[in-house]
Amino acid sequence: MMDRKEKKLTIRYALTMMAIIGFFTGIFYLVSKQVTSKDLLVFDQHIISFVQSFISVDITRWVLRLTDLASVAFLIYAVLFVSVLLLWKKKYALMVFMITANGLGALLNKTLKWYFKRERPDILPVILEKGYSFPSGHSMGSLLFYGSLAYLLVHILQGTWAKILSFLGLILLILLIGTSRIYLGVHYPTDVVGGYSIGIAFLVLCILAFRYYEERNNK
C-alpha cells in the first residue's frame, strides 16, 4: 500500500499530465477551427516564404535526408527495431508502450487527415506529396516516435546528463523535421503545429496510461 505522501504525488502527477493533454488538445482544436481562414492562410504563406527563402541545392539535399527520418517506411522499421530490442531486454511493458503510441498515433493521424481534408500548399513545392495536409503526418509521426524514444531513454538511462542530452537532441530533431516539411513546401506551418499539438496530447496520454499500469503492478 502507498503511504499518503506517495499517493498525493501520484495524484498530482496524473493531474499535471491531464492538464498537459487538455492544453495541447485545446491548441489543436483552435488551429483546426481556423484552417480555412484567409487570415491564417496569409500567416502560413508568410512563414513558408521566409523558410523557403533559404532554399539551395546543398540545403535541400540535407533537408531531404532529414525529412526521411519521419517517413512512414522509416518509422515502421524504427519502431520494430526498438520493440525487438525492448523484447530482448525483457522490457515488455515499454515495448507495448512503444508499439501502441506509434501504431494508434498513426491511425489517429490518418483519421484526422480524412476528417479535415485540407489540401496541400501549392506555393513552391520542392517535392510532390499525395494525401491531405492537416495535421502533418511527418510532424506528428516524428513527435510520437522520437518523443516516445526520449521517454524510453529517460526511463532507462542512468546518468542525469545522458538523459538531458538525449532528450534535448531528440526534441531538436523533431523540430527540424517539422521545419523540413515547410521548407519542402508540402505542409503549411499550421499543419506542423497541428501535428505537434495533437501528437503531444496523444503521447502524454500514452505515458499516463503506462505510468498507471506501472503503479498498478508495483503495489
Task: Determine the straight-line distance between the first and last CA of the chain, rounded to whole angstroms.
Answer: 6
Cis before 189? omega within 30: no
Contacts of 189 (CB under 8 A, 6+ apart): 43, 44, 47, 48, 182
DSSP per-residue string spanning 151-208: HHHHHH---HHHHHHHHHHHHHHHHHHHHHHHHTTSS-HHHHHHHHHHHHHHHHHHHH
Within 33-117, residue ranges assigned H as helices are: 38-52, 57-67, 72-88, 92-116
Q: How many CB atoms lie within 10 A of CB 58?
A: 7
Long-range CB contacts for residues 160-168, cutoff 8 Å, separation at least 24: none
Task: Report phi then psi at 3, rounded to 5.
Answer: -75, 175
The residues annotated as belonging to the active site are 138, 187
